[in-house]
Structure 1
Amino acid sequence: MGPVVVLAPDKFKGTLTAVQATVGIAAGIRRVRPDAEVRMVPIADGGEGTVDAAVAAGFTRIPVRVGGPTGQPVDAALAVRGRTAVVELAESSGPARLPSGPAPLTADTAGVGELIGRAVELGCTRIVLGLGGSASTDGGSGLARALGVRLLDAAGRELPPGGAALARLDRIERGDLAARLAGVEVVIASDVDNPLLGPKGAAAVYGPQKGATPDEVRILEAALARWAEVVAPELADVPGAGAAGGAGYGALALLGATVRPGIGLLLELLGFDELLDGARLVVTGEGSLDGQTLHGKAPAGVAAAARARGVPVAVVCGRIELSGAQLDAAGIMAAYALADLGPDSITHAKELVEQAGELLARDLLTDPTGPMGPADPMDPTDPTDSEDAS
């Protein structure tokens, strides 16, 4: 009986999905160790790819046609298993859903609300809401509108979609929202700890990434301040309220949501701990292994969970910007960068990720007693081999 290897990479943003990375690494490992038992669990931390990760772990994909960030219909999906649903904001309201470029003042999150509504219709009583990859800065107002909340100006007229319009908000009417969500738990999966307002808030930090000019950032900041004043001022400073253009705030204030660290929640949901039983090695990964990795991103979460069970961890990534000491401190025994394996690692990512799987299998899975460090002269954890040193 061969070694048990758990593969749990995140996406290589813009290059490989988490599923593609997992399949590629597995193919490389099996060339060297055809006897290996490879357990595949593509992961995400609440952002893009969260629904795909849930489906790969046994959830059922439910296609839903919803309104995109500018109101044009888009084909999205949620994932359901039993009475638990996974809803990903990027599925319906991410930048990829914009039909013709950024719309910082008018884009909204109505599609997310429609996905949540569909989950409730299906009888789900626990909704895991992955926040990340938002195209809008609407404070979650679109989400609320899609669930029946009316946003009214002083004359009683409904506001148009988008964050900027919230500056004219006079009051909201919640309709039957409480009745619709009775008995439903909403849990936000997010590692963002920004508040809604201020220099670290949704508009100031993330607005420019969505195409907002400095003047538009000021417009959105004032609009979000009005939104918070009307709805629930006390929640504006809650860590995570600024996630996904303030969608975190909307979920906290109107859906009664709670916030959990994204990767921890997703690993729990995907049954990661059970997959570690008898494992000899865990392989995780992402596009860039850098300083941000160490602050709650998916590979760090996987490494921490595996280390708690005493299972060694290796990483396959697009590029490495961490030293060997930093990798060791994160519980990562070896790292393999596609950029070090061949030119044009983006174009040839599928081939190179398989090559990385072969390399790590030779280095770490040929010793019958357990994983061993990469053989000289190519130690992937040596900082002199990283891009920082070149």
Structure 2
Amino acid sequence: MPLPLYLLALAVFAMGTSEFMLAGLLPDIASELDVPVGTAGLLTSAFAAGMVVGAPLMAGLARGRSGRTGLLAFVVLFLAAHVVGAVTTSFPVLLATRVVAALANAGFLAVALTTAAALVPAERKGRALAVLLSGTTVATIAGVPGGALLGALFGWRAAFWAVALLCLPAALGIVQGVPARPAQQDGDGGPRLRDELARLRSPRLLLAMLLGALVNAATFGSFTFLAPLVTGTTGLGGLWLPVVLVLFGAGSFAGVTVAGRLADRRPGLVLAAGGPLLVLGWPVLAVLAERPLAVLVLVFVLGALSFAVGATLITRVLYEAAGAPTMAGAFATAALNTGAALGPLVAASTLGTAAGDRGPLWTSGLLVAVAGVVALVCRTVLATDRRVLS
């Protein structure tokens, strides 16, 4: 894989750390800025919503510029948002910085997905995507626990400064390593923006986006609420929570790595094997949630399966949007983050029911099952493209 892919993955690591680290920082933020914890939770919702809206918007604005210029601009904007967030004493300002950071993250990921696919031969898109998404999975392994540790030792602002500092080598790497290829523009032989957006009329593209969103909703629905499960039903102390998060992140890294080698040639194998296992795996974790050893093992396995299946589906989005060179990454990013935004909302609604902190796990199993039913009902749509099933 080309070196620029790993430089892009470094920036994705910084952005992934920022997206997930708030789970361990919200109580301190709420206390210092004098807002309820529930209100502080809007910081997470604002980020997810900004990602969904920002992907197509920022990718559209980046048209007509080189990939390197767009990527650098988004990293600098992301860095600036974290500097302002680290020094502000106003919750509304902090909330605004999260929206700006999400827009920059969405724009970066949309352009980076397209850039990554262009850096390798067409038949290796899946492996390129795996390298890029490894930045996110490594963030769950090292970045999120690291951010929680910084917050515990030096306050939540230290975590924001750390993310800002991570952006500096990423920006330097983009300048030095990403080719300054001119982006496609309307009228220069490339497709017009209207034509790229028209790809959304493709049933296969819409189906791949829907399935990717459902699987990602299942993943983040349970990941978001692992803390109350681990410290509540499982009965492990708070010090075990970073261990569980690291296990989930390690599993996700393994899943993306394995899927990256199969997503181009044998995507059907990943989906046919991983999908049913996920449908069973989340409920099994709910049933065995009182057994610490089972939880530790299953968290790793489900992290691997979730990211293997999810990454494979997002790879299919890139293949199906091949006629939209500047918007393909935006479509994939929107699918990913629609799931990341809606999954926790659906899962949260089960916490007050008899299911308690196991509710999100049952919800995740149901969401993957819905994805399986949709895929089964729409199998004739999939069957018209052998790349999806082979």
Q: Shorter-chain-normalised TM-score: which range?
A: under 0.3
Structure having the larger proportion of residues in helix: 2
- Report the TM-score, using the length of structure 2 for normalisation: 0.25
Structure having the larger proportion of residues in strand: 1
Q: Which has the larger radius of gyration?
A: 1
Structure of greater relative contact order (alpha carbons < 8 Å, 6+ residues apart):
2
- Report the TM-score, using the length of structure 1 for normalisation: 0.25
